Chains A and B, each alone.
Chain A
Amino acid sequence: MQFNDYEKNIEKLESITKRLEEENLPLHESVALYEEGMKLHQELKKCLTETKGKVQRVNVEELSLEPWEEMPDEI
C-alpha cells in the first residue's frame, strides 16, 4: 500500500466498521468484511511503519526535483 492511499484506506476501514455494525447483515458477509478489515488494518500498519518519506529539493533553474543534498555555500 502506498502512503498516498493511507487516508483513502482509513476511510474504507471506517466504512467496513460501519457496515459490520449494521444489524441485519448476513453472517457470511460479516465474516468476509471482518477478514477484509483485518487485512486492511495489517496493510495500513505496515504502511505506517515501513514507509520512509523522501527529501527532495527543487532545482530552481530547471524546475525539476532532485535528491536533497547539503549545499553549505548556498544562502
Chain B
Amino acid sequence: MKALSVTEISEYLKKILRSDYLLSNVTVRGEISQMTKTASKHCFFSIKDKNDAVLNCVFFRVKDHMDDFRIGMEIIVQGAITTFPARSNYQLVATSVSMHQEGVLYKQLELLKQKLQEEGLFLQDKKRPIPKVPKAIGVITSSTGAAVHDLMHVIHRRMPMTDIIIYPSLVQGIDAPKALVQGIEFFNAFDGVDTVIIGRGGGSFEDLFAFQEEVVVRAVAASKHPIISAVGHEADVVLTDHAADLRAPTPTAAGELATLAQHQLHDTLDHLKQQFEKAFIEKLDDETLYLSHLYERLERKNPMTLCLAFERQLEACQMRLNYSVQRQLEQRDHTLAMFETTLQAHNPYAVLRRGYAFVTKQNAVVSSIKNVKPQESIEITLYDGKINAKILKIEKGDTNAV
C-alpha cells in the first residue's frame, strides 16, 4: 500500500468533513469557556458543556455584537466543523453566534429570584404549616391532563371526605400568569378551603415559565390560605416553589403532602378512645378500691356482725346448757332404773306367786284380825285373781311363832 503524505491525509479529512451533511452546517449550544479577540477582528473562543467537553470555535471578522458575550454565557453557535491541517485539530467556524434564549431567561430569573429573596418573599419563617385534616382543598391547574386527575385521585384515596375545588387555569402560554393569579385571588376571597395547591404536570423549561413570572410568584407569596407549589417533575424548581408555604416535587406528591392517610386519622381516633377508656377504667378501679376500703371499715362496726358474735356466744351457752341438762337427766334415769330394780325386788305381787295372798275389806288391807268380824265380806287377792269370801271364824294366833 502506498504511504500517504500528511498533507494528503489532512486534505482528505477536510473533504470528508465538508461533504458531511450535519457537520457542514451545525448548531451547537454551550457555555463560553475561553475567548480571545484579535486585532484583525477575529474572535477565537471555546464552548463547553456540563460534561466539560470542549469545542474550539472561531468567528472571523466579527461585528460589534460579540462585545456582549462574556465567559460563562450560554450561547448558540452556528457554522461548519472544519479542520486546520497545520495543527491536526478541528474547530467550528461560526457563521452566527447568538445568546441562548434559556441562558437569557436564566439570567433574568436569577435577577428576579434575587430581588424577591431580598424582599423577603421566600423567608422560611413566613412558611405556614399545611393543615393535616383539610375540609376542602383548592386546586389551581389545568382542568385537563394527568395532573388534575392524579391530584383528585391521591387526595380522595387518602382522605375521601375532603372536598376538592378546582379552579381551571391555563398553565402555559402568554395568558397563563394572569389566569393563575386570578385563581389565587379567587381562593383568597373564598373561605371554604383550608389549603390551595397550584401546579401543573411536567413540561419543558418554557412550558413551566408561567410559574416563574413575578406576578404569579408574588400572588403565591401573598396567598391567604397555606399554598403548595407543585410544578413539573422532581428536578424542576420554579420560583413559585420558593414563594409557596411548601414545595411539592410533583402534583401527586402535593396531594400526599396536603392530606393524612385515612388510616392515620383512624389510628389517632382509636388511640384517643383507648386513652379515655383507660382513664375511665383507672377511675373506676380507684373508686372500687376506695369503696372496698370503706366497706371493710363499715363492716367492722356492723351491728349484724356484733349480733352474730352474740348469737354464737348464745349458741355455745345453749349447747353447754343442753349438755349439762341431758347429763343430769341421764343420771336421774339411771337412778330411777336402779330404784325400779329395787322396787321390783320388793313388789308385793311378786310374793303372791309363791302362794301368798292378801286380804282387803272394802279396799282396805286387813293386816290384823282386829280389823274384821265374823260374817263380814272380805276380798282375798291371789296372784291370778280375787276371791270374795265371808269370815266364818276368827282365831287369834301368832304367825311369828311359826
Contacts and interface: CB of A to CB of B under 8 A. Distances in A.
Interface of A: 3-4, 6-7, 10, 13-14, 16-17, 20-21, 25, 27, 30, 33-34, 37-38, 41, 44-45, 47-48, 51-58, 60, 63, 65, 68, 71-75
A38 B279 CA distance: 13
A55 B273 CA distance: 32
A6 B160 CA distance: 14
Q: Is the interface of B mostly helix, strand, loop or mixed?
A: helix
Interface string B236-273: 00000000000000000000000000100110110011
Contacts, number: 109
Contacts of A3: 135, 161-162
A13 B276 CA distance: 8
A25 B283 contact: yes
Contacts of A55: 152, 156, 163-164, 166
Given A16-B276, A56-B166, 11 more contacts: A17-B272, A20-B276, A45-B266, A48-B269, A52-B160, A53-B156, A56-B163, A63-B186, A65-B165, A74-B142, A74-B143
A45 B182 CA distance: 38
A45 B165 CA distance: 25
A27 B279 CA distance: 12
Contact of B280 (A34, A63, A73): A34
Given A10-B268, A41-B273, A74-B143, A56 B280 contact: no
A20 B280 CA distance: 6
Nearest to A68: B166
Of the four ranges (under 10, 10 to 19, 20 to 34, 35 or more), the interface on chain B belongs to 35 or more
Interface of B: 133, 135-136, 142-144, 152, 155-156, 159-168, 170, 179, 182-183, 186, 262, 265-266, 268-269, 272-273, 275-277, 279-280, 283-284, 287
A68 to B, nearest CB: 6
Contacts of A6: 133, 135, 161
A53 to B, nearest CB: 4
Given A17-B275, A48-B266, A53 B280 contact: no
